[in-house]
Structure 1
């Protein structure tokens, strides 16, 4: 195994890099073409998967993929599979992102099933990854469904300083991405139509266009990490 990958075991636990389809590990059909393919082909195949599903929503991130993605590996962790994305940022540093295997419906946790999810959001988890994030920080990418942050389950000292509408409830705000620096990109289900919200741990929240910020923060995580 690449020595650089070996160092990742402190974050991922034991894993192996797959080059052929194993008997005891379930590799999603969309990933099977990656096994045994040359590195440049694996990169092209993965970019194509994202482009087929989310060409507009991740337009900035896809541009970063084309410039900075230098390797893609299929990993086996026990009987589960994931994709390891290796980026070389503008400073020449290597960053590693993990994309967990897409979910097989129905696998939505009970705590999330009651929310009126926007049409384009949950398909990411079934078509691409159940979470895609930087390995060391576990941030700057979408969290796995089971790790999403229900804001009402945490203490926020900033609440005492905020002048929030009486109709606003943290039980209806779900963090789906951590910036790694005190900010959380959230879906705000207090609105008639779910809307983007950036929740900060030390300042007032910002109403945002969800997909714009998701694309921007994910790209910045690679370019400016």
Structure 2
């Protein structure tokens, strides 16, 4: 009940689902892997099944995140919110604090119009995460410190950025082709510009600091997710 009470502080409609004892519910839209995970009674095997999928698709790109989850996951739950399903990861960090991270259903349909129109231009590895692992993976309470859901991806050209008035040199990304997939919750974004995004080249974009260019998208995402855990 303590966990449920915590979750409901941020979403009154959220529920934890017992898949094995749930009847008359349509789970056709969730990945078959999720059914296997939550029908499995052994928690260690649940973790293995789930993280094998992470490793299969982005084992190199998210190696630190996967290693941390292997060592620190203490529980997994299937969540339901008005017919939409996600996985809740309960993570115990080095200070003994339990953190809740949500990974949404990769089979979700998203409604981010600009991103839909350009989805095929986004890096294959980024699309793989969203289509094969989760539609975002982030700290539950703030929906940040992780890859946000596709409906929450920031299209840079839709916003007024005050920092632009302070940058003397031409910016090295095109705001019209740039999307912030990772948010740190404090005005920092890991941005993929599909016009200049070969080999997962990305930028750090800030509300109030100069951008950092020519970073590797996954190197920063992997590092920042683990920083968030700690």
Structure 1 and Structure 2 fold alike (TM over 0.5): yes
| 2:220 matches 1:213 | yes
| 2:117 matches 1:111 | no
Q: Distance in 1 between matches of 2:155 and 2:162?
A: 16
Question: What pairs up with 1:51-130 in 2 under 5 angstroms?
Answer: 51-103=55-107, 109-112=112-115, 113-114=117-118, 116-130=121-135
Partner residue in 1 for 2:7:
8
Q: Distance in 2 between matches of 1:102 and 1:96?
A: 19
- By how many angstroms is 1:78 displaced? 2.5
Structure 1 length as normaliser, TM-score?
A: 0.89
Cα contact 1:149–1:176 (8 A) shared by 2: yes
Q: Distance in 2 between matches of 1:60 and 1:167?
A: 29
Partner residue in 1 for 2:202:
196
Partner residue in 2 for 1:17:
17
Q: Give the 3-state SS of the residue equivalent to 2:118 in structure 1.
A: coil
* Aligned with residue 147 of structure 1, among 137, 147, 152: 152
* Aligned with residue 156 of structure 1, among 156, 161, 178: 161
Cα contact 1:34–1:74 (8 A) shared by 2: no
Cα contact 2:205–2:212 (8 A) shared by 1: yes
Q: Number of aligned pairs? A: 221
Query: Could you say what the CA RMSD is over the residues aligned between the two structures, in angstroms?
Result: 2.1
Partner residue in 2 for 1:183:
188
Gaps of 5+ in 1: none
Gaps of 5+ in 2: none
Q: Distance in 2 between matches of 1:190 and 1:28?
A: 32
Q: Where is the helix percentage greater, Structure 1 or Structure 2?
A: 2
The one-character-per-residue Cα deviations of 1:113-155 (angstroms, maximum 9, x if unpaired) are: 2252111111211111111110112111111111100112122
- By how many angstroms is 1:35 displaced? 2.2
